[in-house]
Amino acid sequence: MIAPGRNEVKKLGEQASEIILNMQNIDKKFPGVHALKQCKFSLKKGEVHALIGENGAGKSTLVKIMTGIYSEYDGEYTFCGKKVRFQNVKEARQAGISIVHQELNMMNDLTVAQNIFIGRESKGFFCNDKDINAKAEKLIRDFDIQVRPDELLKNLSVGKAQMVEIARAMSFESTKVLVLDEPTAALSEGEAEDLFKKIADLKARGISVVFISHRLGEIMRIADRVTVMRDGEYIDTLDIENCTTDDIIRLMVGREILEEPKQKNNVKPNAPVVLEVKNLRSSKIKNVSFQLKKGEILGFAGLVGAGRTEVMRLICGADRMESGEIIVNGKISKIKHPKDAIKNGIGYLSEDRKRYGLILGLPVGQNMVLPSYDKMSDMGFVNEKKCSSEAGKFIDKLKIKTPGEKQLVKNLSGGNQQKVVISKWLMKNIDIFIFDEPTRGIDVGARAEIYNLMDELAAAGKSIIMVSSDLTEILRMSDRIIVMCEGKVTGELDISNANQNDIMRLATKHEKEGH
């Protein structure tokens, strides 16, 4: 069966264009972050309204206010002509707004019917599975989902589970607005097609759909309007009929550039290749190949979920690859454990420093020395003097702000914590640094210091891979840029001819949309 074409669907939607949801001057601050700055958003009855922006643009925050997850904010929110301020998700749902999250909120060991009617099993104390199975059956038939009500949720594919969650949202009779947060991220092509049919169906019933997605192709196909956000600000709302993907990309990335981008590739033309990755594969990675040269900073750009971190975890031995080759300094290296990667001179600096990079409850010095105890001990006994003198050396060299090496690492600022991780690998004589989001959670001043450190490392002949979702960072630091999308490399650019628009185009180049 072929999905309804855009025009067919549109006709249905245009019958009623009254605005049922309107948000004005919405402002939301978190400690240290101004997440939303005077944003607005409006939704017509029976329209599919896409919300797009880079990671951190404020889409999620806006949607969380819309659906009652956040109740504290400034601004005006009207729904069905009434001023509202939802205190929690339940209030929003009773009013008629439901959300289906990207990570599905379902109970895997319960059945489809039990999931749909959780919290509404029966009026009394005893549950009647027959009753809810019958109700679920009706709903499932209504939505044309190919599942049985008594099937366990864990046996369903992601796509089917998502349909069930949408059915659950629609089982509340009051539902007028359905928010879908990146619904196609985990779906196969066929499942995505199914979803688009369902969305068209909902639209025909007069339901309004807010659709968050990074995929421009599908937005162009199913949305009526698109609102673009950037850095917590509302940028513009466009009618899909009168715009192109290029217009949207321009709005998404068009921020002022505070940092000067790097002018040219600083790598010597005859620099040797220190790391070569060939046809790397895993469940999330499809045939990734690239080369890294001595003294190079290689940027990995892409949107969150593009598979960049997964590639790095394979290279550093944190996860196992299905197939592929990692060649370090011309030799094929079997990397099965981080130990092997380190032996080959590869050190990984995780995007989640607190979880993977540091041991928060231990002092600065012990964190730095952790991989190097073999050099810092005699016959198994730790040489405390050597440890503290080495740690002291790096505290001075990297200008780490700490009262001393005995200070617990959790009491340091983000920038100084990152320097502790860098010291850890410098002490181990690492040659290939993999920085995953090197400045996440680090303030502007410290950011510049980290950038300078990375530049110094590269100038000293170390090689760096830098994964970053921040385009200014990518353009400021990289000699060469590799762009990934959905587990694949979609492009490679030299810094001398790279720009934000090109990177964003490659980062949103989803194959299934047939571009």
Partner 1 sequence: MDGKIGSIKSYITGPGLQKLIAVGALIVLYIFFSIFGNHFLTGDTFVSILDSSYYIGFLAIGVTFVIITGGIDLSAGTVMVGSALIGGVAYNVWKLPIALCLVVIMVSAVLFGVFNGLLVGKLGLPPFIATLGTQFISLGYCSVIAKVQTQTYPSLTSPDGWFKQVFYKNHGFPMGAIWLIVFFIIAWILLNKTILGRYTYAIGSNEEAVELSGIKSSNWKVAVYIVNGVFCGLAGIIYAATYSSITPQTGNGQEMYAIAACVIGGTSLSGGIGSLSGTILGVFVISVLKTGLLSMGLPVQWQQVLIGVVVLLAVLMDVIRSKKAKKA
Q: Which residues bind partner 1 (CB under 8 A)?
A: 316, 318, 337-339, 341-343, 348, 350, 355-362, 366, 370-371, 373, 377, 380-382, 384, 403-404, 406, 424, 428
Pick between residue 109 and residue 384 the one whose CB is nearest to partner 1.
Answer: 384
- Minimum distance of partner 1 from residue 456's CB (angstroms): 23
Closest C-alpha among 76, 153, 148 to residue 107: 153
Q: Which residues contact 364 (CB under 8 A, 6 or more apart)?
A: 391, 395, 400, 402, 404, 405, 406, 407, 408, 409, 412, 420
- Minimum distance of partner 1 from residue 405's CB (angstroms): 12
Residue 228 near residue 53 (C-beta atoms within 8 A)? yes
Pick between residue 427 and residue 446 the one whose CB is nearest to partner 1.
Answer: 427
- Minimum distance of partner 1 from residue 429's CB (angstroms): 12
- Please give the structure tokens belonging to residue 406: 């005995």
- Minimum distance of partner 1 from residue 333's CB (angstroms): 14
Pick between residue 180 and residue 341 the one whose CB is nearest to partner 1.
Answer: 341
Pick between residue 341 and residue 498 the one whose CB is nearest to partner 1.
Answer: 341
Pick between residue 172 and residue 356 the one whose CB is nearest to partner 1.
Answer: 356
- Minimum distance of partner 1 from residue 508's CB (angstroms): 31
Pick between residue 159 and residue 357 the one whose CB is nearest to partner 1.
Answer: 357
Residue 394 near residue 400 (C-beta atoms within 8 A)? yes
- Give dist(CA 407, CA 409) in Å, integer: 6
CB atoms within 10 A of CB 269: 6
- Minimum distance of partner 1 from residue 373's CB (angstroms): 5
Pick between residue 30 and residue 373 the one whose CB is nearest to partner 1.
Answer: 373
- Minimum distance of partner 1 from residue 368's CB (angstroms): 10
Closest C-alpha among 68, 67, 71 to residue 28: 71
Q: Which residues contact 288 (CB under 8 A, 6 or more apart)?
A: 277, 279, 280, 281, 307, 311, 324, 484, 487, 488, 489
Pick between residue 343 and residue 393 the one whose CB is nearest to partner 1.
Answer: 343
- Cα 388 to the center of its chain, rounded Å: 39
Where b means 16+ CB within 10 Å and e means fewer, 41-59 reads bbbbbbbbbbbbbbebbbb
DSSP 3-state of 247: helix
DSSP 3-state of 277: strand
Pick between residue 189 and residue 384 the one whose CB is nearest to partner 1.
Answer: 384
- Minimum distance of partner 1 from residue 324's CB (angstroms): 20
- Minimum distance of partner 1 from residue 411's CB (angstroms): 9
Give alpha helix (H) positions in 171-266: 189-204, 216-222, 245-253
